Structure 1
Amino acid sequence: MEGNVFIVGLGLIGGSIALAIKKAHPAAVVIGYDVNGHQLGLARSLKMIDETARTLEDGFAAADLIVLATPVMQTESILAAMPIEQLKRGAIVTDVGSTKQRIVQGARRLLEAGVAFIGGHPMAGSHKSGVAAARAHLFENAFYILTPTDDVPLERVETLKQWLSGTKAQFVVLTPEEHDRITGVISHFPHLIAASLVHQAREYESKNALVSRLAAGGFRDITRIASSNPEMWRDILIHNKREMLALFDRWMAEMERLRSFVEEENSIAIYHYFLEAKQFRDGLPARTKGAIPSFYDLYVDVPDYPGVISEVTGYLAQENISITNIRIIETREEIYGVLRLSFQSEDDRARAKACLAKHTNYATYEG
């Protein structure tokens, strides 16, 4: 496809979309804008974009496709201030936010200018951030939700899919209400629960310092998502307020039900509660990307001696296997310690496991 694509916000998501569009549509001109001059300059030097816009208005006026890759509150503000009289008639505007109802409602004014707004949410990410972490394949095989309203012709939705074809994502069309309800259940509320568990541990730590030491293993793992960007999650929860309040009510009712099982020592009910949870969880797809970035962890039992970490990472480096994170889970004298290596993909983890099996006799197991 040919035309001008204007991407506002050149972080991980915006940069990855820019790369995917450039790869699939080399004849298109990708124009970038970011309030962070360093990120903007880096995107230009990495050839993610062809040009930079001096102002938002300059970029809007030239664009056939506008991608708002900004936090949801900023997206809402940009849409409210967008000069519709300067937009190209027939242009398409989309976003990448984790909430949709308020944003779609705020974009209705674009219809006056013959501009189609199609809400978007690529359900993939990384544990790294910034334009330097952007990858054209970030969204490959991920679900990419589109939320057009009834006012948007089907051919405009198909045009947007063509523009985004380089992402190699699986497009799913939902209403804004369906999107917010589903993401509330599988992403927004879990982040809230993780944060509340951490707050509970923090409260107990004030009474017993041993809490944080014992929480360094499994507790730290199951609450990983509590380390997400607090500003972003503040905005998401406010934007998805209606669905979150409904989930609060259902969650508290669920906890009351479970509490009654424990209070009554109802062993059969408790057993089936965990059994049903296990069966549903075990049946979830293991090889597809979802709303929360997956963790591809490999645990390695290593002897406790100087240089063992550089030895392990050295073998992986020899085979060009990138590690996104490394952490020492446990080190005590005269016993094996545990390294937790995190990778970008399941393929990288499998390659790492084969690499270490070839070079060492260290036991490895997946997390």
Structure 2
Amino acid sequence: MAILGVGLIGGSLALAFKRSGKVGRVWGVSRRETIEKALALGVIDQGFTREKTSEALAGADLAVLGAPVEVIIEQLGWIGPHLQPGATLTDIGSTKRAIMQAASAQLPEEVHFVGGHPMAGAETTGVESADPFLFQNAVYVICPGRERDREAAERYSGLVSAIGARVLVTSPEKHDRIAATISHLPQLVAVGLMNLAASANEEDPNTLKLAAGGFRDLTRIASSPFEMWRDICQTNADEIKDRIDSLIEKLKLLRELVGGEGLSGQFERAGRARGQIQKNVKGFLSPVYQAVVTAPDEVGVILRIAEGLAEEQINIKDIEVLKVREGEGGTIMLGFATPDCRKRALEILGKLGFPARSRD
């Protein structure tokens, strides 16, 4: 298996596939310094600089394009002749139509292409952050493309399932429209709202001082660098603009309803729709059942909680420190695989002296 672009996602795929036992050796293609890091970390078994890509691809049954969308499209223009007949090529691009079109037009018939988009990520980037468990319970979108690629798509779906991801098969068109609604538009809304607040703060410096939990939650992704979004916005511009137009119409309606009781219907509809989103998922699926624990600000408190649960064979699936007041204490979110595990955990935590409650 060869991975072109050994960063966070490419490196995590390498580790996850190796851990699954479903692939043999993994070859990485990247910059020299990245290759050196990947080899030292055991992410790949052999590394190649970009000038030697053809050597890495020569014996690969499977190759992954782990670059930004526009780079993937450029790679599809020349990579075909370097792949062996019958090989499967896939990608991790955040938009799918432009990539699938390029693959269909550029790749030889004897090479199979499977569009892919793992709905997973992390706060940090680079091969140093590669994690074999990054795709656990994450949705991994598969776009089969050409009819002759269907069997290859099924094989790759099985491989993706083996690393703990949840496969969602859809068309490139549906993927890009959904992504525009639930990912791309929210990013631009966060940017717009944050810039609105920044302008207001220039008029009154107390504006951002009063920004609390709700505003921070809504604008968290506004800090994302444009470099991450340039290709996405360029290759999915039509769908994003359509979603912006739809949101403007929704805002116009809300503007008309502000001050009257008619606004309650919009709140109620939003509440019902929000309730349909499965809680605490990576991507779209696989819920984690949360509990919130109140704990003192003491050395070893998280260890005491973890050890207390482990002694009763309760596995913590997710953990997050929510709030801390130095010298006093704070709240910790714990995630469990099932409602029963959460119920037992709440009982155990109570006996250990930690107040805890369900978080639904």
Give the TM-score normalised by the residue count of structure 1.
0.81
CA shift in 2, pair 1:63/1:188, >3 Å: same
Stretches of 4+ aligned residues off by more than 4 angstroms: 291-303, 316-331, 336-339, 345-367
Between the aligned residues of both structures, percent identity stands at 34
CA shift in 2, pair 1:292/1:74, >3 Å: farther
- Contact kept in structure 1, 2:28 and 2:46, CA below 8 Å: yes
d(CA) in 1 for partners of 2:95, 2:245: 20
CA shift in 2, pair 1:294/1:195, >3 Å: farther
Is 1:266 the equivalent of 2:263? no
Task: Determine helix, strand or coil for the equivalent of 1:144.
Answer: strand
d(CA) in 2 for partners of 1:227, 1:296: 28
d(CA) in 2 for partners of 1:177, 1:284: 22
Gaps of 5+ in 1: none
Partner of 2:195: 199
Deviation string, structure 1 residues 92-126 (Cα, Å, up to 9, x no partner): 11111110111111222443252122110112223
CA shift in 2, pair 1:271/1:188, >3 Å: same
- Contact kept in structure 2, 1:122 and 1:142, CA below 8 Å: yes
d(CA) in 2 for partners of 1:353, 1:229: 40
How many residues of Structure 1 are paired with residues of Structure 2 in the alignment? Answer: 349
- Contact kept in structure 1, 2:290 and 2:333, CA below 8 Å: yes
**Counterpart pick for 1:43 among 28, 38, 41:** 38
Partner of 1:73: 70
- Contact kept in structure 2, 1:11 and 1:130, CA below 8 Å: yes
Partner of 1:10: 6
Between 243-252 and 103-112, the greater mean CA deviation after superposition: 103-112
Deviation string, structure 1 residues 154-191 (Cα, Å, up to 9, x no partner): 21212222333422222222111111001111111111
Task: Determine helix, strand or coil for the equivalent of 1:152.
Answer: helix
**Pairing 1:244-263 to 2, within 5 Å after superposition:** 244-262=240-258
Task: Determine helix, strand or coil for the equivalent of 1:199.
Answer: helix
Partner of 2:313: none
**Counterpart pick for 1:89 among 85, 88, 91:** 85
Partner of 1:286: 279
CA shift in 2, pair 1:41/1:318, >3 Å: farther
Task: Determine helix, strand or coil for the equivalent of 1:136.
Answer: coil
**Counterpart pick for 1:106 among 102, 106, 114:** 102
One-letter code aligned to 2:158: Q
Between 177-186 and 136-145, the greater mean CA deviation after superposition: 136-145
Task: Determine helix, strand or coil for the equivalent of 2:27.
Answer: strand
d(CA) in 2 for partners of 1:194, 1:294: 25
Partner of 1:175: 171
One-letter code aligned to 1:255: L
d(CA) in 2 for partners of 1:354, 1:56: 56
Task: Determine helix, strand or coil for the equivalent of 2:89.
Answer: strand
* RMSD over equivalenced CA pairs, Å: 3.4
**Counterpart pick for 1:218 among 209, 214, 217:** 214
- Contact kept in structure 1, 2:279 and 2:287, CA below 8 Å: no
> How far apart are residue 252 of structure 1 and its match?
0.8
One-letter code aligned to 2:268: L
CA shift in 2, pair 1:323/1:286, >3 Å: closer
d(CA) in 1 for partners of 2:275, 2:188: 23
d(CA) in 1 for partners of 2:151, 2:164: 19
**Pairing 1:106-185 to 2, within 5 Å after superposition:** 106-112=102-108, 114-185=110-181
Partner of 2:269: 276
Partner of 2:48: 53
- Contact kept in structure 2, 1:301 and 1:364, CA below 8 Å: no
